[in-house]
Amino acid sequence: MDIHGHTALVTGGGSGLGAETARELARQGARVAILDRNEAAALSVAAECGGLGLAADITDTESVQRAMAQVRAALGPVRMLMNVAGIGGAKRVVGRDGTPMPLEAFAHTIEVNLIGTFNVLRLIAADMSQLEPLEDGERGVIVCTASAAAFDGQVGQAAYAASKGGLVAMTLPLARDLGQHGIRVCSIAPGLFLTPLLDGLPAEVQRSLAESIPFPKRLGRAEEFARLAAHIVTNRSLNGAVIRLDGALRLPPR
């Protein structure tokens, strides 16, 4: 799909990987809508992109539907969905004091990262399926954000790895399911990236993390994620794939 002139919706677009993805799509001529729980952040990135910034909770269907209606009215139908919103965090199954991990903590991570991502995807896909087909019968492209932790999650990442592993597992069936409507689905599984979370770590910790990456020996850059997301849109043969973007990193147990 040609990015220029079409509308893209970026969840979690107020910061980090999402914000840079929104900027890259805007640079390539897309009309961009940024959804984020932090309305001020969404508006700030939207101002940079000449787009639309909206507050929305991806786990709340009504919130997403309201945002979608505003996007349609202001920018037209969404042809590109970048599902970047998600949460991190780590918690051991059994704590140092012997208490079990709260079930609510596990459920919350699954609800945001897996169910929230699917919630936006299902609603946008239904809209996309009604659009006029483009070249090769294509109607839209959906990119989800998994993680290297989906394959080699570390101690304390049971919930996070499960949520991202769910995204990995559903990528192919989603592509097969939505292919009949001319909608492609891929996922990106980033490794260690210089996001606001890692940027807040001491320099020596950042250097140690970078040394664990075979090549290049540095943390990933948000623009590298954004360029891959944009390439997935433009390369029509990319479908049903989970692409690791990690410099050949395999996460150690700790």
In angstroms, the Cα distances linking 237 to 83, 97, 137, 176, 179 are 20, 51, 13, 13, 12
Phi, psi of 24 (to 5 degrees): -65, -45
Six-digit token string for 78: 């969404």
Calculate ∠ Cα 229-233-234, nearest 5°: 120
* Rounded-to-integer distance, Cα 91 and Cα 151, Å: 18
**Cβ–Cβ < 8 Å for 85, 117:** yes
**Cβ–Cβ < 8 Å for 177, 128:** no
**Cβ–Cβ < 8 Å for 26, 18:** no
**Cβ–Cβ < 8 Å for 43, 33:** no
Whether 83 is a known active-site residue: answer no
Catalytic residue among 36, 142, 150, 160: 160
Residues serving a catalytic function are 160
